Structure 1
Amino acid sequence: FPFIYYQTFLFYHRNLYLHLKWNCYISQNAEEPEVEDRFVKRLLNALGFTSDEWVQQFKTGKGPADFAARKNHDDDKFSVAKIKPDLIIEVKGRVSGNAIINLAEGTPAYKKAKEQITGYLLAPKCQTSQWGIITNSTDIQLFRKHGKIVLPATDCMRITKDNIKIITQIKNLLENPPKALRICIYNDKGGVGKTTTTINLAAILRQEHKKVLVVDFDPQQGDLTDSLGLQEGKVKLSDCLVDGAFNVKETIQAFNLKNKAGQLVKVFDVIPSDSGLSKFMAHTYESKIDKGSARLRDLLDIFVCNYDYILIDAPTNWTFFSKSSVIASDVILMPTEHNNFSSLKNAAKVIKEFLPEVKKLRQDGGPIALPIFFNRHKETEASIKRANAEIKAILTLKKGDNYIFDTNLLPYYWPKSTKTVIDTTIFSVPEYEVVSTAAFSRKPAVFQHKKAAEYYLKLAKEYFLYE
């Protein structure tokens, strides 16, 4: 009888050695109930949850999740209270009836399970949940939630007796969650307002009581640094890229504004662009950086527990700088313009070409792209019609004699569409003069005009913040 046999392994947790022995025999044609009893319950135990810290068939408000778990607090037992779960698990069998279920990434079963875990994590009774797992005891993947964003925290991994360490990896992530969401504002086309978006999004997040770090990783223009009236400091980001003796924390400068009483108040922190970055545009200098384009991610790792959001303003074109920015991020936010067709096409290039390259390099499931939005958008019926025609052309694939929508790209352009209804609604930030001219005053537009603040608050709520 085919089986998976999990032998004793050792892992370290809070200075205690915990021994775990799984002796769980799971048939090759196991259906969901068998996977739940013989695998998931033991998995929960291995992740540190006792029997009164999890429940089955948890009512999320958007359907029942197979399992939910939360650590008990004093006399507050989760199995009794059944509220505010930390972890949601969606379980699949190895087979369903006579059909084999392949949960490997990219398969139809995987896509369905991913949609389910995302829906559960965003459901009304799961707002406290930070983690989700999908598994069928053959494959397993951990997801993390930050605000309204659900993103992979690991690759979809194959479980074998030789790589049981993946359970330890998941346990370590659950016990040491990152606080920050790292956002790269990027499009492979210039002139779409990336810097304006970065500054005003950072400002509105701060207004919503979030702690924000902004990184200007543009080696030539440094528009973000200039528009905030900041200068490079004694310790520069370019120094930190090549020399581990420099402390990246010392690159940070505070962007301050005066309040009504005339006192300086910090709005957010900034790692400014500096003159030394431009030398890395040459491949000879880039080769001197340990880990190359992955170095920026390592430098920013030190901040993930100190901020709620880390925003990276990336330059255009797929260079060391833009690639580094994408590698360092959890999500990619892509401004486009409805009358700039190149910006619409280049967003597809980012999704279809650049992100797979980075995912292969990182091997942790990330980063992910967010749906495009129209920036500096002053719509007319004719201009929107032209933009949608261009998007339709981008999304259309020829299959034999028929033309169909590219379902892989559809969620990034028309995210409100369903399998039966095509909804062409795209979020937009309306054109407003004070937004574009705010740079001359060294003050984000959201602090100068109520309308600008409304626009960017809607942007933040559309993608990141709960209402």
Structure 2
Amino acid sequence: MMTTINWNQVLDSISDNAEEPEVEDRFVKLLLNALGFSSDEWVQQFKTGKGPADFAARKNHDGDKFSVSKINPNLVIEVKGRVSGKAIINLAEGTPMYKKAKEQITGYLLAPKCQTSQWGMITNSTDIQLFRRHGKIVLPATNCMRITKDNISDIITRIKKLLDNQPKALTICIYNDKGGVGKTTTTINLAAILRQQQKKVLVVDFDPQQGDLTDSLGLQEGKVKLSDCLTDPALNVKDTIQAFNLNNKAGQLVKMFDVIPSDSGLSKFMGYDYEARIEKGSARLRDLLDIFVRHYDYILIDAPTNWTFFSKSSVRAADVILMPTEHNNFSSLKNAAKVIKDFLPEVKKLRQDGGPIALPIFFNRHKETEASIKRANAEIKAILTVKKGENDILDPNLLPYYWPKYTKVANDKTIFTVREYEVVSSAAFSRKPAALQHKKAAEYYLKLAQEYFLYE
């Protein structure tokens, strides 16, 4: 049963040199109560299958007490002390201890006995951050927040609101600041393969000029347009949706996925004052799509190239950024670094919730040869190499996005690849995704979905 907690007294009761057990007893147990968990709805030292999490919690249901069954947690928590021995523990974002704690909570959320977990948290009673898991993705649900007496009640209210209103969808922006790398093809075929895996999918074509996605699916703009919804709050964005349907072998119409098509009115926001004409500017698309996050499993946004209102809005609306590149298109490799180093920090600063995050690049339409891989890896090495004193090192902030399996021990430069297949590029003429026409194309895009999003 929840009790009224005097958080000022709680914070005063925790010593400056509190080690982990003190933080657990004087802060985390009270925090769980404030978040709505009774004493039989949480346990300590939960065995995740990848080491013990300090706490795990889940609401009781149908006579199943979590403290007894200890199965199917919804929230796992990694706790740190304010100090360890004589060393001060700094959990502020970007610090070594923060990175370690984030790696731990990510491992727990993806562990065998946490497949039902949607939330993870790290805290030492000085800093706190909430994470969300969707399939194989673990992403920030809040920024890393410094706890004070003035803001602790607001922080707990914010976290509880998120826990009580779990979003269903993962919003993915398919983007690279370089054109011609197959963003639209990736979006369409990823949507098709996710639908084949029984996922409910919404696709958003936010390209103001080309609208290739809308055209390739044979769709037309409707009476209610996305461009109008950007400026008119009286319109219902649900009315922009068109269903992409196909006939099955029996001639029956089968719904595949939903689409918010591009429309001719979007081009009016391409002028120098475009953002000023839309309330909340580049945040508007995110606000519009919020109505769908509890209805779909995946929302895919096809974003145009160049850092304009449209691409900025698409990235700002997303949880994760999926970046197609090509092994022989060196500009696409360099521009991916620009997205990670420049564009994402700009959007994170605007959002103040820790997101979005970038996923490792993949090679699209790849025809692999020993020479092509050698050239691509040489280019990537040039992108990653930075000076540290007198030495050249691989930039640790970029390395996970190019060679995610690379370590000092294992010199693994593997990059996920969607193979070249001629039917993929020609599928647009048939108004049907290649993944729904050909077994080989379906295999390629299923592997893409499994690599980044789905458990196999």
2:4 to 7, 19, 22: 19
Shift of 1:418: 2.7
1:106 aligns with 94
Partners of 1:459 and 1:159 lie apart in 2 by 40
1:48 aligns with 36
Shift of 1:399: 1.3
Partners of 1:80 and 1:298 lie apart in 2 by 41
Spell out the pairing of 1:157-176 with structure 2 (5 A cutoff): 157-164=145-152, 165-176=154-165
2:180 aligns with 191
- Contact 2:3 / 2:33 at 8 angstroms: preserved in 1? no
Q: Is 1:228 equivalent to 2:213 in the alignment?
A: no
2:285 aligns with 296
2:124 to 136, 156, 162: 136
Shift of 1:168: 0.8
Q: 1:312 is paired with a residue of what secondary structure? A: strand
Q: Is 1:466 equivalent to 2:451 in the alignment?
A: no
Shift of 1:238: 0.4
Partners of 2:264 and 2:339 lie apart in 1 by 27
1:456 to 426, 445, 454: 445
1:6 aligns with none
Partners of 2:322 and 2:292 lie apart in 1 by 20
2:198 to 190, 202, 209: 209
Spell out the pairing of 1:403-422 with structure 2 (5 A cutoff): 403-422=392-411
Partners of 1:422 and 1:83 lie apart in 2 by 38
Spell out the pairing of 1:49-448 with structure 2 (5 A cutoff): 49-164=37-152, 165-448=154-437
Residue type at the aligned position of 1:272 = P
Shift of 1:410: 0.7
Q: 2:107 is paired with a residue of what secondary structure? A: helix
Partners of 1:274 and 1:209 lie apart in 2 by 29
Partners of 2:240 and 2:160 lie apart in 1 by 33
Partners of 1:19 and 1:93 lie apart in 2 by 25
2:24 aligns with 36
Residue type at the aligned position of 2:367 = K
- Which stretches in structure 1 are left out of the alignment for 5+ residues? 1-15
Q: 2:300 is paired with a residue of what secondary structure? A: strand
Partners of 1:18 and 1:49 lie apart in 2 by 11
Shift of 1:75: 2.0
1:12 aligns with none
Q: TM (normalized to structure 1)? A: 0.95
Q: 2:343 is paired with a residue of what secondary structure? A: helix
Partners of 1:139 and 1:46 lie apart in 2 by 17
Q: 2:292 is paired with a residue of what secondary structure? A: coil
Per-residue CA deviation, residues 151-193 of structure 1 (Å, 9 max, x unaligned), is: 0000000111100211111011001011110000000000000
Shift of 1:21: 3.0
Per-residue CA deviation, residues 269-290 of structure 1 (Å, 9 max, x unaligned), is: 0000000001111023431100
Residue type at the aligned position of 2:121 = I
Range 159-168 or range 411-420, more displaced: 411-420
- Which stretches in structure 2 are left out of the alignment for 5+ residues? none
Residue type at the aligned position of 1:120 = Y
Partners of 1:456 and 1:285 lie apart in 2 by 36
Q: 1:283 is paired with a residue of what secondary structure? A: coil
Shift of 1:431: 0.2
Q: 2:24 is paired with a residue of what secondary structure? A: helix
Shift of 1:17: 10
Q: 2:277 is paired with a residue of what secondary structure? A: coil
Q: TM (normalized to structure 2)? A: 0.98
Per-residue CA deviation, residues 178-234 of structure 1 (Å, 9 max, x unaligned), is: 111000000000000000000000000000000000000000000000000000000
Partners of 1:175 and 1:419 lie apart in 2 by 42
Shift of 1:419: 4.4
Partners of 2:267 and 2:2 lie apart in 1 by 49
